[in-house]
Amino acid sequence: MGADNVDYDKELDTIEKSFQTDISLAIEQIDTVLTYESLLTLQQQSRLYGLIGAKFLYLGDFVEADKMLDKALLFNPNGVVLTDIYLLKITVNIALLNYQQAFSLLEENFSRIENYQDNSIKIKSYNRLTNVYLQLGAYDEMLRISQLALNLNQGTDPRNQCFSMLLISVAHLKLQHFDQAETLFTDTQSYCKDHDFPLIEIMSIKGQANVLFDKGLYAEAEPLYLVALERYQKFQFEVEINEIQSYLSSIYFHLGDYQQADMFAQLINALPNKPSNMQVKKRVSEILSLIAGKRGQFDKAYQYQVVASALGQQLLDEQKVKENAYQMARFNSVEKNRENTSLIQDHELLMKQKDLFMKEKSSSIMFSTLLVGLSVGLLLLLISAWMQRNQFMKQAQRDGLTGIFNRRTGQEMAENEFIQAQMLGESFSVLLMDLDLFKNINDQYGHATGDWVLKKVTHVIGEMLKPTHIFTRMGGEEFAIFMPKQTEDIAVDFAEQIRDVIANINTRFSGHDFTVTVSCGVSSVDKDDLSLDPLIRRADLALYKAKHNGRNCVVCYNDTIK
Mean pLDDT, residues 375-398 taken together: 56
Query: In the prediction, which pLDDT does 142 show?
Result: 86
Kindly indicate the confidence band of residue 306, based on its pLDDT and cuts at 50, 70 and 90: confident
Q: What is the pLDDT of residues 320-351, one digit of tens each?
A: 666 665 555 554 444 444 444 444 454 455 55
CA–CA distance from 187 to each of 145, 168, 516, 521 (Å)? 19, 11, 74, 62
Angle, CA 536 vertex, CA 531 and CA 538 arms, to 5° = 110
Query: In the prediction, which pLDDT does 336 show?
Result: 44
**Rounded-to-integer distance, Cα 84 and Cα 138, Å:** 20
Q: Give the start-end residues of each E strand in 312-446.
A: 405-406, 428-435
Q: Which residues pair with 480 in a beta bridge?
A: 432, 472
**Rounded-to-integer distance, Cα 417 and Cα 88, Å:** 24
CA 388 vs. chain centroid, Å, equals 27
Q: Which helix (H) or strand (E) holds 480?
A: strand 478-484
Are 462 and 399 a contacting pair, CB within 8 Å? no
**Rounded-to-integer distance, Cα 47 and Cα 388, Å:** 44
Which segments of 236-297 does DSSP mark as H helices, in order? 238-254, 258-269, 278-294
Question: 3-state SS string over 259-276?
Answer: HHHHHHHHHHHCCCCCHH
Q: For residue 228, which of 242, 217, 214, 218 has the smallest C-alpha distance? A: 242
Q: Over the chain, what is the mean pLDDT?
A: 82
Q: For residue 534, which of 522, 543, 525 has the smallest C-alpha distance? A: 525
Mean pLDDT, residues 182-192 taken together: 94
Query: In the prediction, which pLDDT does 536 show?
Result: 92
Looking at the predicted structure, is the pLDDT value of residue 219 above 90? yes
pTM: 0.53
What is the layout of strands, in order, in the sheet containing 428-435?
405-406, 470-475, 478-484, 428-435, 518-524, 554-556
The bridge status of strand 518-524 relative to strand 554-556 is parallel
Angle, CA 520 vertex, CA 517 and CA 523 arms, to 5° = 170
Q: For residue 53, which of 20, 79, 84 has the smallest C-alpha distance? A: 84
| Phi, psi for 246 (deg, rounded to 5) | -70, -40
Question: 3-state SS string over 407-450?
Answer: HHHHHHHHHHHHHHHHHHCCCEEEEEEEECCHHHHHHHHCHHHH
**Rounded-to-integer distance, Cα 30 and Cα 51, Å:** 8
Angle, CA 104 vertex, CA 382 and CA 44 arms, to 5° = 135
Query: In the prediction, which pLDDT does 264 show?
Result: 94
Query: In the prediction, which pLDDT does 145 show?
Result: 84
Q: Compute the residue count for the chain.
A: 562
Q: What is the DSSP string of 46-96?
A: HHHHHHHHHHHHHHT-HHHHHHHHHHHHTT---HHHHHHHHHHHHHHHHHT
Query: In the prediction, which pLDDT does 303 show?
Result: 85
Kindly indicate the confidence band of residue 381, based on its pLDDT and cuts at 50, 70 and 90: low
Are 153 and 123 a contacting pair, CB within 8 Å? yes
- What residues have CB less than 8 Å from 247, skipping those under 6 apart? 209, 210, 213, 221, 225, 283
Query: In the prediction, which pLDDT does 335 show?
Result: 41
**Rounded-to-integer distance, Cα 552 and Cα 500, Å:** 9
Q: For residue 33, which of 59, 10, 66, 58 has the smallest C-alpha distance? A: 10
Kindly indicate the confidence band of residue 102, based on its pLDDT and cuts at 50, 70 and 90: confident
**Rounded-to-integer distance, Cα 284 and Cα 250, Å:** 7
Q: What is the pLDDT of residues 411-451, one digit of tens each?
A: 888 888 888 888 778 899 999 999 999 999 988 988 889 99
**Rounded-to-integer distance, Cα 164 and Cα 191, Å:** 11
Ramachandran assignment for 216, one of left (phi > 0), alpha (psi -120 to 50 degrees), beta (any other): left
Q: What is the pLDDT of residues 454-485, one digit of tens each?
A: 999 999 999 999 888 999 999 889 999 999 99
What's the farthest any 2 CA atoms get from each other in the chain? 96
Catalytic residues: 477
**Rounded-to-integer distance, Cα 109 and Cα 125, Å:** 9
